[in-house]
Structure 1
Amino acid sequence: SLYERGKPVLVFRENPVPPFKSISSNFKLQRPVQYYCLHLLKTFGLSIIVIMATEMFTPDEAENFISNKLKVKNVRERTASDRKGLLDDIAVAMQTELLFQNVHLMSFPLEKRHRPTLEEIKADVLSGAGGLCYNLNVTTFYLLKALGFDAELVHATCTSTVLFPNNHILVHVRNVEKPGDKFLVETALGFPTFRVISLDFEKESPEFRDSFLEYKYIKHEGQLLRMQRHGDPLPRSNLPEGVVFVLDGWRRMYYSDMSGTTDLKDFYSDFDKVFENPKGSPFHLSLRIIGFPGKRTVMVVNDKKKIENDSGDLETTDILGGDEGLAAEVKRLFPNLSEENIKLAIANWRAVSRS
């Protein structure tokens, strides 16, 4: 047991490794009794945290990854005593310690690109290479589930330069500070979101400024919209119908459902298209690597470098030296990326840009 604000907290740990596998039939029979007991304990005012293995991480793996790779402190204790603060720290560290990048995707010829498996995603995050929204937000979901958070995955649609339904994925977490509350955890947009966002507002969230970007969230016609203003680099004209939506000077980055699911399979079909169809994502047509070391933006877009200055704005410079110079600069800025993958991605990007 732990203590949260002076109240006892019971922590139940489900362990999938032996000897439990050998008695799985008995364990299944006992689960209804287990959950009846949990419900009964809740009626006495006890806080319950169920720590369980997921398809991607055991509880120990999740804690080790968050503590060692993401450098977040006191993980286990804070699941009971500082849940909101822990979520904030994990959300930030997923962006400062991992990369948002399409180098891995672009290193493959188009006919071999595919939605990554959980094993492939796990290898990329453990190496520090990161990935795109599917890689990083799915990782976040499974990490939080392994720690006992009530997390779910949510369909979203980015409207940066294309309108391709369900080409983004988000994480919602319920029952964080009090029963029924809900927070958005966004770790994989390529734009900074250095906090979790309470979704318990009526019409719109507060306005936030992280790194170079000003943003907020609004509820509009039954959907959640991310809106961006100062620092927003997205074009506002000469795009297909339906892509651009501007409200009082704020440009929509994406819209999403208000609720989600815990079943990743519900996203397979949409993300098969995103990873295989060039019309589903701009990441088949350009080179993007984005990091936020120390919560400051370092970005490579094609053959240009964008670095956040001391004023919080992005300064853009050309990367010289042709493909060799570009590969060397990407490797210098983002050493966790494979040199071979960088060169392959550049070659494939050049081929697309010339066609």
Structure 2
Amino acid sequence: MPSDLLSREQALSFLDKVGITDGEETLRKDPRRFLSDLLKAYQEHVPFQCVSLLAQSSEERHVPTLEEIVEAGLSLEGGLCFTLNTFFCLLLRALGFKVDVLDGSFSLSCHPHTHEVLLLRDLSEPGDNYIIDVGGGCPFLELIPVKDLPVTRYEAGFEYRYQYLGGMVARLHRIREDSERNQNETWPWAVYRTMLEEQDVRFSDFEATTESHPGLRFIFKFRRFWEWRDVDASDEVKILTEWAEGTQPVPDLLIAGYTSWMLYTIPQRLENDPNSPLDVLDLLMRVHEVVVPLLQRVAHRTRVLVHADTRLRPHSQAKKPGHRLAMNAVFQNFLEDWSEMMFRFFEKFGSGRITRRRRLVTRTVRLEGGLEHLVNMVEEITQGDRPSRGFDRMQSPPEEGAVKDYLRPDESGLWWWDTSLPINMATISECSDLHDRNFTQLPQYSEPVLRCEDHHHSGTATLNFEVHMLLNLICNTHLAVDRHFCCS
């Protein structure tokens, strides 16, 4: 979202419109009090309404642009959740806060992505995060501290509860009179879910521990191959090289899996190239050619798991029909199988074959009349013939009677991790069965357990299994179980 849509001067002027006096001074002295006052004033002066939408003909109706959202906010016209929460996000960013927009869904709707809320980050310190929602017909006038969930509040005649539900954060609400009259009855909750887990975790580096074992600390770092035109120059290859050569300490456990990411991102850069389908596969093969020998060398120093990519859900949804068609083309199973075959090829023969390294470059061809034409060309970057850098698989045998450390590398080298693939394919079969029976409106279809509406990412049924396997792998050494058992 562009940061220049709303200036700080416009934001301060807006504070005067909604009746906040000395807003800049309060913001400087007590940001929490300022936000509390702003939440109430904003929802009092900027209405939740659909009149503006209904006043348009069906042909004129459209999702408002960011410019239209800013105009609707500054004029106090208001609108639906998309307008109200998006403008509030721009307002807070203009005032110096860290705010993200989160996707959400109403449980009573048969369609996903029907709501949005905000996540305010690092208010007083890193990790001090709050949920904000100023885009509902049932107003909520407080910040919701994520670390204190579940949270119950009473506002505007309603009883609200925010809690974790099925790996997500859910907001539930009911009329307060009903809650007082039926304390012992099941709550007639109206629920919507907010997808915190994906927006908060995906593509992020973070540290985690547990209350029961605070000494157990996990540091997760996410890296993606982005400089695929010249993969040798990518930051990821530099990191792998440092680990392989021993100039940087290796992680305790390295999990690699990049086929789907490469298949998805490379075509976006080659959409004007008539040979792009072949170029995509060629470039993916070149990534394997560079990365696999490095992973083999890193596997000498730490445990390396190569994750088999999950498979396509044939009935998944997309916002645009063209995008859905493209996703179905990108994530076909035979492309995943081909990529695995290339990976295994370089794993087996990479240390002995002569490689000629290439990269894709863009050249400008000058035409008559002062015109120019951009073309993609492949150029050799190999400095003479040289073998791929291999490694010696011989390892010293473990001492007799020693407890096996499953994180220490051994003669097996890389581990191809496809244990969860049957579970992933079973959940895809369940999604297809629900689709064929016309049960796509059921919560089970869109909930994260199966995640049937996602093209490619695993649901929690698969992810939980993988997490359990990783925890067992990490903990088996300390549990000192018989080495013939993989779990405990």
The answer to whether the aligner puts 1:76 opposite 2:21 as a matched pair is no
CA distance in structure 2 between the partners assigned to 1:271 and 1:87 by the alignment: 37
Shift of 1:131: 0.5
The residue identity in structure 2 corresponding to 1:59 is R
Cα contact 1:92–1:187 (8 A) shared by 2: no
CA distance in structure 2 between the partners assigned to 1:99 and 1:120 by the alignment: 16
Larger relative strand fraction: 1
Residue in structure 1 matching 2:124, options 165, 173, 177: 177
Secondary structure of the residue that 2:21 maps to in structure 1?
Answer: coil
The structure-2 alpha-carbon separation of the partners of 1:120 and 1:232, relative to structure 1 and needing over 3 Å to count, comes to: farther
Aligned to 1:186: 133
The structure-2 alpha-carbon separation of the partners of 1:271 and 1:193, relative to structure 1 and needing over 3 Å to count, comes to: farther
Residue in structure 2 matching 1:257, options 195, 202, 214: 195
Shift of 1:74: 2.5
Residue in structure 2 matching 1:132, options 80, 100, 103: 80
The residue identity in structure 2 corresponding to 1:139 is F
Shift of 1:232: 9.3
The answer to whether the aligner puts 1:57 opposite 2:2 as a matched pair is no
Superposition CA RMSD, Å: 2.5
The structure-2 alpha-carbon separation of the partners of 1:167 and 1:232, relative to structure 1 and needing over 3 Å to count, comes to: farther
Aligned to 2:153: 208
Query: Which structure 1 residue ranges, 5 or more long, are not aligned?
Result: 1-52, 234-246, 262-268, 273-355
**Identity among equivalent pairs (%):** 27
Query: How many residue pairs were aligned?
Result: 196
The residue identity in structure 1 corresponding to 2:3 is T
Shift of 1:97: 0.6
Cα shift readout 1:263-302 (whole Å, capped 9, x = no counterpart): xxxxxx8599xxxxxxxxxxxxxxxxxxxxxxxxxxxxxx
Cα contact 2:157–2:176 (8 A) shared by 1: yes
The residue identity in structure 2 corresponding to 1:176 is L
CA distance in structure 1 between the partners assigned to 2:123 and 2:6 by the alignment: 21
Aligned to 2:294: none
Shift of 1:128: 1.8
Cα shift readout 1:315-339 (whole Å, capped 9, x = no counterpart): xxxxxxxxxxxxxxxxxxxxxxxxx
Cα contact 2:154–2:176 (8 A) shared by 1: no
CA distance in structure 2 between the partners assigned to 1:232 and 1:65 by the alignment: 36
Residue in structure 2 matching 1:123, options 71, 81, 96: 71
Shift of 1:78: 3.0
CA distance in structure 2 between the partners assigned to 1:152 and 1:114 by the alignment: 23
Residue in structure 1 matching 2:48, options 96, 100, 111: 100
Q: Residues 215-230 of structure 1 correspond to what in structure 2 (within 5 A)?
A: 215-230=160-175
The residue identity in structure 2 corresponding to 1:204 is P
The structure-2 alpha-carbon separation of the partners of 1:176 and 1:165, relative to structure 1 and needing over 3 Å to count, comes to: same
Cα shift readout 1:76-114 (whole Å, capped 9, x = no counterpart): 233332111111112111210111100111111222210
Secondary structure of the residue that 1:54 maps to in structure 2?
Answer: coil
Q: Residues 144-183 of structure 1 correspond to what in structure 2 (within 5 A)?
A: 144-160=92-108, 162-183=109-130
Question: TM-score, normalising length from structure 2?
Answer: 0.38
Using the TM superposition, name which of 209-218 and 251-260 deviates more. Answer: 251-260
CA distance in structure 1 between the partners assigned to 2:78 and 2:4 by the alignment: 18
Aligned to 1:141: 89
The residue identity in structure 2 corresponding to 1:141 is C
Q: Which has the larger radius of gyration?
A: 2
CA distance in structure 2 between the partners assigned to 1:231 and 1:110 by the alignment: 37
CA distance in structure 2 between the partners assigned to 1:139 and 1:270 by the alignment: 22
CA distance in structure 2 between the partners assigned to 1:175 and 1:227 by the alignment: 25
The structure-2 alpha-carbon separation of the partners of 1:159 and 1:271, relative to structure 1 and needing over 3 Å to count, comes to: farther
The structure-2 alpha-carbon separation of the partners of 1:135 and 1:126, relative to structure 1 and needing over 3 Å to count, comes to: same
Shift of 1:218: 0.6
Shift of 1:60: 1.0
Shift of 1:117: 1.2
Secondary structure of the residue that 1:101 maps to in structure 2?
Answer: coil
Cα contact 1:99–1:130 (8 A) shared by 2: yes
Secondary structure of the residue that 1:165 maps to in structure 2?
Answer: coil
Cα shift readout 1:176-235 (whole Å, capped 9, x = no counterpart): 12221111111111111011111112x511x211112111101112101001122599xx
Moved over 6 A (4+): none
Query: Which structure 2 residue ranges, 5 or more long, are not aligned?
Result: 179-184, 201-317, 322-488
The structure-2 alpha-carbon separation of the partners of 1:103 and 1:175, relative to structure 1 and needing over 3 Å to count, comes to: same
CA distance in structure 2 between the partners assigned to 1:232 and 1:270 by the alignment: 40
CA distance in structure 1 between the partners assigned to 2:158 and 2:19 by the alignment: 25
Q: Which has the higher contact order (CA 8 A, sep 6+)?
A: 1
The residue identity in structure 2 corresponding to 1:255 is R
CA distance in structure 1 between the partners assigned to 2:19 and 2:111 by the alignment: 36
CA distance in structure 2 between the partners assigned to 1:125 and 1:142 by the alignment: 10
Cα shift readout 1:1-48 (whole Å, capped 9, x = no counterpart): xxxxxxxxxxxxxxxxxxxxxxxxxxxxxxxxxxxxxxxxxxxxxxxx
Question: TM-score, normalising length from structure 1?
Answer: 0.51
CA distance in structure 1 between the partners assigned to 2:110 and 2:21 by the alignment: 40
CA distance in structure 2 between the partners assigned to 1:97 and 1:271 by the alignment: 35
